[in-house]
């Protein structure tokens, strides 16, 4: 991954109102994001997902870099009906950096 995880950590402030990541991360308004790479969409036990993400789960959608990139650019363009109220990260560099940060919390 070509992004800068340290810059991604700063950018993650745009996410941290709703998402936690790292040791002890819990679900808040959004599900925790540990291990998101390779995780099945909508699969955190006990989190009340939208119909859109429930459908993605039923379709066996797995979060990979391409899908995360699309979802972070424009959540509803990838998952219609998602309730993630986030306008999106419109710059590719910003998405690369946040993805590098998220990737650092996925065991390889």
Residues 7, 13, 27, 81, CA torsion sign:
negative
Question: Residue 31 contacts by C-beta under 8 Å, 6 or more apart in sequence?
Answer: 19, 44, 47, 49
First to last CA, the chain: 13
Q: Is residue 70 close enough to count as binding ligand HEM by CB under 6 A?
A: no
Q: Which of 6, 10, 22, 29 forms a contact with ligand HEM (CB under 6 A)? A: 29
Rg (CA), the chain: 13
Q: Is residue 44 close enough to count as binding ligand HEM by CB under 6 A?
A: yes
Q: Is residue 85 close enough to count as binding ligand HEM by CB under 6 A?
A: yes
Q: Which of 20, 27, 34, 50 forms a contact with ligand HEM (CB under 6 A)? A: 50
Give me the residues that bind ligand HEM (CB under 6 A), please. Answer: 14-15, 17-19, 29-31, 33, 36, 41-42, 44, 49-50, 52-53, 63, 68, 71-72, 82-86, 89, 98
């Amino acid at each position: 991954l070509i992004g800068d995880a340290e810059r991604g950590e700063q950018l993650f402030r745009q996410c941290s109102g709703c998402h936690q990541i790292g040791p002890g991360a819990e679900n808040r308004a959004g599900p925790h994001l540990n291990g998101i790479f390779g995780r099945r969409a909508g699969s955190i036990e006990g989190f009340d997902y939208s119909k859109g993400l429930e459908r993605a789960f039923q379709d066996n959608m797995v979060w990979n870099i391409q899908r995360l990139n699309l979802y972070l650019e424009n959540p509803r363009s990838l998952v219609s009906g998602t309730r993630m109220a986030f306008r999106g990260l419109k710059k590719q560099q910003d998405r690369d950096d946040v993805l590098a940060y998220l990737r650092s919390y996925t065991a390889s």
